[in-house]
Structure 1
């Protein structure tokens, strides 16, 4: 039988007391490379400090952040002062950092910066070369681990936003040896598929070592040479990789990558309704225009039709006929009036008018007698009176004015 049985809490408390009583780890300086650095919403900073052979968890509480003399991030080398203690609830130990000084840049971070500068000089980050992300993709390619949280997040977002858009998964290593080559094969494979309109390359968060496959030159070149637009969705919002700078669009998380790639079905339906209303309105306007144009053309056709023109010509002829009749009638009236005037003048000047006054005119068989020279003795004269004619033979001819003898 054991001498005594301890609870888990008692064991952790005892170990913590041992740590507290050790003067070496109770106040020490430790140096290494920062990895997996996270800032909690409480304001505390959690990170891992590592060297070539080992790593240790560290925490900087909010009230000690003023003693951090550098921009704490993955890849930098620091010297930290603090103490080692046990976190009893989890049974783990960590360094409670109270002061930090920079101690150079880590190897991986140096490689990251060197490759970034090299690719930037080559124009890999040129914004003018970025391909637009399609607004309405048919299928979305995804390169990530088929067992990780990233693919589950992308599938959930896709199902929620638009279940009709297909996902084509290329399962790939996203960490460790062979991950970069796997990712390159996935990019080339999906890029060759005509039905894939956009590709999401990504994984969940991690340390700079965990995300290093996305900092490899081969992956950068594959993204740069791809014809299909690529969204980089690597890590958390604070994580940056070379893939983020080269890709056509950077998403802070895999879920955000799916949000950027997959349109919301309700928005599409609302947009289609809007376009449908605009189309119907446009068609109505067109139909109204064509109807009014047809009516105008019908009026023009009726106005210029042969039947209407013949009717107009008949009306015009009728008007001419009436005008001609009026002109003829007016002309005849004028002639009648003129004849009447002439008749009256002739009547006034007529010899018959003088016959009524007691005058007469004399004629022979050859014509009217105007002079004694026109007749000879023995010739028969015809004397025209008002009410008859008298025949008389000439017995004597005397020259001179007949009015002069008694």
Structure 2
């Protein structure tokens, strides 16, 4: 249809801005202080401290933002893969033509959703092989340094410490304080595990807490925690007291303990058992050693009385006599050689004394030198040249 034949609209057409303003007004007036549940992804924190992330489920996603002041009040530390409920207002941002949720509330998701998330993550990680025994690291038999990731104020920390003091007091316990429930717990637990893995200054790491509801224990079912446990360079023991049979961290860890106290039992030997073993080995060693000594004493005694040893003794005595005779001969020869050498040295000393060129000087004679030469005859002396007179105690130059 040509432009000339187009039928003009009989009503006003809004611009993009006008339409966006209507949508903005409609959404922002009707979606105030709402709640929505989902899984966090693409979590980023800007230099200004604002959190930007996406809340999603299997079929849709919702952009979200938490401004810095609100994040400080909420005291949160978001990571990818957390299943949460957020509250706030919908806001339309006209320049980008999109809407987002301005978050003012963050809570853990309900138990039903958490259980679904647990089974979903369990299946996912199992298929990836994170639970396979081939990845399990052996626990050290005698750990000297133990890393502990839990709350410093928790009963779990006190239980582990008191159990270790009785069971294996030789170990040094290093605590990394981390929240063990709430939104901040999973990121802090991850940081604790990564700290001990990076520093590599411990032999084994315990993570866990005491009992509680599924919501309380949920940080140990977070994917970020599971992957941190899997990537840890030192063995990890998961000790989470929980209502369900296992947590995700239990499946991934190198060993699982039912309680924090049990972790101390799983991860260390009993010093009293070690002492009993040492005493038992000592007694056995003493018994075997004493028996062996008596046996060899009898053998030596029998050998000493044997005819063959007596013959050896006689031969050794004859050899000793020969050695003594040789020693006497060597002594006489050596003394004779020394006397002869002394006489030769004395004779040489006398000969050297007679040939001593300084002997006349020692008797008071004077030696004449000219141009560095010893003048022995009168025809060698140049009357017009300087000369030196040498006595025993020095020289004098004459012009």
> Shorter-chain-normalised TM-score: which range?
0.3 to 0.5
Bigger-Rg structure (1/2): 1
Instruction: Tell me the TM-score normalised to structure 1 length.
Output: 0.46
Q: Give the alignment's TM-score, normalised by structure 2.
A: 0.46
